Amino acid sequence: MSKPKQVTIVEVAAAAGVSIATVSNVLNRGGIRSSKETIRKVELAAEQLGYRRNTMAAGLSRNKTFEIGLIVPGLTSYYGRLAEHLQIEAHQAGYHLSVFSSGGFDPAIERRNLEVLLQRRVDGLICHGLAMGMESTRAIVNSGTPLVLINGWGWPEDIAVGAVNLGFAEACRQSTKLLADRGCESLVYVGSKHSKVIDEQRRLGFEAGIEQLNRQIPHHIVDMKELDVEAFLQEEIAGQQQRVGIIAFDDHVALKLLSAANKLRIDIPERLQMISINNNYIAMHSYPGISSWDIPYTLQAQMAIHKLLHKFGHSVETGEEREFEVPLTFIERETTQLNDME
């Protein structure tokens, strides 16, 4: 049985009615911009003729693979949505995004994922923090492959070319002030130590907010995994007339607190007020609705891809700092909306 004839770019160019150079530029993702109509004609002709680009050979010949590696702790909630947005931005820039999960901040899995991606000669890496730490990362990422961190604070330039960080600390600082302004006489941050540096940023923001209040206020920090939620709320609220304010690590933590508060018939927001982070479907559809900080996924993804493209030589840096902070937007709902808006 004879081997099927391989379609060439010469045939694709003839079918699309464009030059061979244009076909090569479109199919090999060259640096010359083509109109959407030209791209559509070339891709349609290639599909109809059954043209298959040898991506491995093209990458090796140009020392580029047009592949970006992404490592996130998991593929649910924030991480999954971020991966989707990064994939869209990478595609629009002419790159393929390969996504790996580290199994929930597991350093050994992270290390293996990094090694695999570097063996595949990806053009760049995007990682959500790194549980295995700076020295271990430096020992692996030493081949010149640029690394951009998502939510990685304080990493040196010899490891990461930059970082795009969400403003968790500022959101928690502002949340502390808002709850105090709404009459809360004690404040609690309910965190998640499992989330490491993300939780640390929230804690720093909470502590900064407390320090900036113009009055002393009872406050403390607890970890969600160590809580008996109902007992915790009873201890914080039962038998007291004061209003309690809680800043929850994210909407999942907030929902557990809210469900227990409803079961205990705690008046929200008169006796208990709560603010969360992420603003996902939980915050939107819970009862009562949870006040939460919205994450600009598209902007964070655009900035991360932009930093890599700059390193690849595709764009011009505009003087921004290595660590770019993406601000969050407060969405207020019933857990902080007092009837008289004191």
Instruction: Please give the angle made by the CA atoms of 259, 246 and 197, to the nearest 5 degrees.
Output: 105
CB atoms within 10 A of CB 195: 18
> What pTM value is reported for the model?
0.80
State the average pLDDT for the chain: 88
Percent helix, strand and coil across the chain, each to the nearest 5: 45, 20, 35
Task: Flag the least confident range among 37-46, 91-100, 178-187, 188-197.
Answer: 37-46
Q: Work out the pLDDT band at 60, boundaries 50, 70, 90.
A: very low
pLDDT at 317: 56
Q: Work out the pLDDT band at 77, boundaries 50, 70, 90.
A: confident
Which comes out higher in pLDDT, residue 45 or 257?
A: 257
184-191 sheet: strands from edge to edge: 219-223, 184-191, 243-248, 272-278, 291-294, 329-331
Greatest Cα-to-Cα distance within the chain, rounded to the nearest angstrom: 87
Instruction: Please give the angle made by the CA atoms of 44, 48 and 52, to the nearest 5 degrees.
Output: 90
Q: Work out the pLDDT band at 61, boundaries 50, 70, 90.
A: very low
- Is 76 strand, coil or helix? coil
Q: Which residue has the tokens 């891809």?
A: 305
pLDDT at 316: 53
pLDDT at 29: 61
CA-based nearest residue to 248, from 267, 273, 214: 273
Percentage above 70 pLDDT, the chain: 89
Task: Flag the least confident range among 200-204, 225-229, 239-243, 290-294.
Answer: 239-243
CA-based nearest residue to 243, from 211, 267, 225: 267
* CA contacts within 13 A on the Cβ side of 137: 25
The two tokens of residue 101 are 């999960």
* CA contacts within 13 A on the Cβ side of 173: 13
Instruction: Read off the pLDDT of each residue in 281-304 and give the average, rounded to a whole number.
Output: 96
pLDDT at 56: 47
The C-alpha atoms of residue 293 and residue 159 are separated, in whole angstroms, by 30
The two tokens of residue 20 are 């061979």
The C-alpha atoms of residue 23 and residue 43 are separated, in whole angstroms, by 9
H/E stretch holding 331: strand 329-331
pLDDT at 312: 83
Percentage above 90 pLDDT, the chain: 58
The C-alpha atoms of residue 85 and residue 133 are separated, in whole angstroms, by 26
Which comes out higher in pLDDT, residue 313 or 325?
A: 325
pLDDT of 59 > 70? The answer is no
The answer to whether residues 23 and 53 touch, using CB atoms and an 8 Å cutoff, is: no
Instruction: Read off the pLDDT of each residue in 72-93 and give the average, rounded to a whole number.
Output: 92
pLDDT of 3 > 70? The answer is no
Instruction: Read off the pLDDT of each residue in 80-107 and give the average, rounded to a whole number.
Output: 92
Instruction: Read off the pLDDT of each residue in 132-157 and give the average, rounded to a whole number.
Output: 88
pLDDT at 1: 45
CA-based nearest residue to 53, from 21, 29, 27, 30: 27
Q: Work out the pLDDT band at 242, boundaries 50, 70, 90.
A: confident
